[in-house]
């Protein structure tokens, strides 16, 4: 037994770091997502009860697996007809119910099977993302709801529906057939990128959730290894590495958010920039560039610029144009407007913003107002800029965002 540790903290850490690995391994042996997850949750409850009394086991992950198998057996026995589990599984669980909890266990990594199962096209896309965040990231239902700006109860119902369909429709826990792998990968890439962005700009107000970012990058690496000829898998991994390379520079010593122009470029992670840059080049050489590869190429131009002013803005504007053609999307245009303002001046950027159709959705989108405010301020239209900053501040969720925008507003209105 290890010396006493703060048990809830330890359990939380275990869930964050090992949930996906433990759960996917359980699903692989039990063959039923719902049963595996319920049993693992039972095991977590047991850990919270037992560890403070008996001490933390030497191998918490092995303990979780063994106890979860025992709980699965209990659940099958309690609910024999509803579960309709084969005798074979019951026998298997019987044999493994007394696996020692205190020795290291080879826990095979089935996370890739898990991600393709969670991203099965027979599930609604939103459910795919939610299920993957739950199954692989170990996010709580409330956290997933936050990522979608949904109510927790709505998200809970969605997850329940998705899990029910996995079982009742007979969606197998396996990798797709080779001929389906590429099609199914598009859905997987979208899900991985959402996990990354959730970690990057966490909706719970935390600036950065490195565990999610790392999980997304790790999943991206596994995918590119599995699909060496999939350009967009490389493009996505590059995009995430390049984005993450600036993580340490994004906050000042006082914890405040620093925009690109104020970042200390010496703090950028050169290893990630090199790896990301090489991946973009390969991805672009493999054929017509997809949206992830284009975004990664933009990120690489930023990463390799000696200074903010030395950035190749015209090239970035051109890449945004290609991206906007592929993905007609106002958010792409907002970013293009910002780049255009450095290539050709703030008025050019503002003119582009003015061509956008501002509906309710865009009107509630904080970066739109922040971009507008910046362009107006640079044009010397201080009153209009201040109004836009105030709107942006009212829409900001993360405290760092609020603080950054408020500072800008103060600088603008200072005598």
Partner 1 sequence: MQYMCLIYAQEGKEPQPGTDEFGPFMQGYMDFTQRMKESGKLVSGDALQPTATSTTVSVRGGKAETVDGPFAETKEQLGGYYLLDCEDLDDALKCAEQIPSAAFGRVEVRPVVIWD
Q: Taking the complex as a whole, how short is the minimal distance between the CB of residue 163 and partner 1, in angstroms?
A: 11
Q: Taking the complex as a whole, how short is the minimal distance between the CB of residue 128 and partner 1, in angstroms?
A: 9
Separation of alpha carbons 291 and 231, rounded Å: 11
Judge contact between 1 and 58, C-beta under 8 A: yes
Interface stretch with partner 1, choices 4-12, 172-180, 233-241, 248-256 (CB under 8 A): 172-180
Residues in binding contact with partner 1, number by CB under 8 A: 20
Nearer to partner 1, 81 or 285 (CB): 81
Question: What is the longest distance spanned by two Cα atoms in the chain?
Answer: 80
Separation of alpha carbons 303 and 265, rounded Å: 9
Binding residue for partner 1 (CB under 8 A) from 177, 229, 253, 254? 177
Nearer to partner 1, 127 or 245 (CB): 127
Q: Taking the complex as a whole, how short is the minimal distance between the CB of residue 175 and partner 1, in angstroms?
A: 10
Residues 6 or more apart from 155 whose CB is under 8 A from it?
130, 141, 142, 144, 145, 148
Judge contact between 134 and 144, C-beta under 8 A: yes
Nearer to partner 1, 3 or 170 (CB): 170
Using rule CB under 8 A, residue 168 touches partner 1 = yes
Interface stretch with partner 1, choices 35-43, 63-71, 170-178, 303-311 (CB under 8 A): 170-178
Binding mask 34-73 for partner 1 (x = CB under 8 A): ----------------------------------------
Using rule CB under 8 A, residue 251 touches partner 1 = no
107-136 residues near partner 1, rule: CB under 8 A:
120-124, 127
Residue 239 to residues 183, 196, 273, 341, Cα–Cα distance (Å): 20, 10, 10, 23
Using rule CB under 8 A, residue 237 touches partner 1 = no
φ, ψ of residue 365 to 5 degrees: the values are -100, 110
Q: What's 182-231 look like in SS3?
A: HHHHHHHHHHHHHHHHHHHCCCCCCCCCHHHHHHHHHHHHHHHHHCCCCH
Judge contact between 62 and 26, C-beta under 8 A: no
Nearer to partner 1, 177 or 253 (CB): 177
Judge contact between 44 and 16, C-beta under 8 A: no
Separation of alpha carbons 403 and 257, rounded Å: 8
Binding residue for partner 1 (CB under 8 A) from 45, 142, 172, 262? 172
Nearer to partner 1, 9 or 81 (CB): 81
- Which positions touch partner 1 (CB under 8 A)? 81, 84, 120-124, 127, 161, 164-165, 168-172, 174, 176-177, 180
């Amino acid at each position: 037994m290890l010396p006493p540790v703060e048990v809830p903290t330890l359990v939380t850490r275990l869930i964050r770091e090992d949930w996906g690995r433990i759960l996917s391994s359980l699903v692989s042996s039990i063959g039923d997502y719902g049963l595996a997850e319920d049993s693992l949750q039972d095991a977590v409850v047991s850990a919270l009860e037992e560890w403070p009394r008996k001490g933390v086991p030497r191998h918490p992950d092995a303990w979780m697996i063994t106890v979860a198998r025992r709980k699965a057996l209990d659940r099958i026995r309690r609910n024999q007809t509803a579960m309709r589990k084969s005798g074979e599984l019951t026998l298997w669980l019987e044999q493994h119910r007394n696996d020692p909890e205190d020795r290291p266990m080879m826990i095979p990594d089935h996370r890739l099977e898990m991600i393709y199962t969670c991203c099965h096209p027979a599930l609604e896309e939103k459910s795919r993302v939610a299920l993957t965040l739950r199954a692989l990231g170990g996010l709580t239902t409330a956290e997933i709801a936050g990522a979608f700006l949904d109510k927790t109860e709505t998200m809970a119902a969605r997850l329940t529906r998705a899990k029910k369909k996995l079982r009742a429709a007979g969606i197998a826990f396996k990798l797709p057939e080779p001929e389906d792998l590429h099609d199914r990968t598009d859905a997987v890439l979208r899900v991985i990128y959402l996990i990354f962005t959730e970690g990057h700009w966490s909706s719970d107000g935390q600036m950065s959730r490195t565990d999610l970012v790392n999980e997304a990058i790790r999943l991206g690496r596994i995918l590119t290894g599995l699909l060496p000829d999939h350009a967009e898998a490389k493009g996505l991994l590059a995009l995430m590495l390049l984005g993450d390379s600036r993580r340490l520079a994004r906050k000042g010593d006082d914890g405040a958010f620093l925009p690109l122009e104020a970042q200390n470029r010496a703090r950028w992670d050169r290893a990630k920039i090199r790896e990301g840059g090489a991946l973009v080049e390969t991805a672009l050489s493999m054929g017509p560039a997809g949206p992830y590869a284009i975004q990664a190429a933009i990120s690489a131009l930023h990463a390799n610029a000696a200074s903010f002013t030395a950035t190749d803005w015209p090239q970035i504007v051109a890449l945004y144009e290609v991206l906007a053609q592929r993905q007609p999307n106002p958010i792409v245009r907002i970013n293009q407007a910002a780049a255009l303002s450095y290539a050709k001046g703030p008025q050019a950027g503002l003119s582009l913003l003015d061509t956008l159709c501002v509906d309710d959705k865009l009107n509630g989108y904080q970066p739109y107002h922040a971009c507008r405010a910046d362009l107006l301020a640079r044009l010397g239209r201080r009153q209009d800029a201040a109004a836009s900053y105030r709107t942006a501040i009212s829409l900001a969720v993360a405290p760092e965002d609020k603080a950054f925008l408020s500072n800008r507003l103060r600088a603008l209105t200072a005598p």
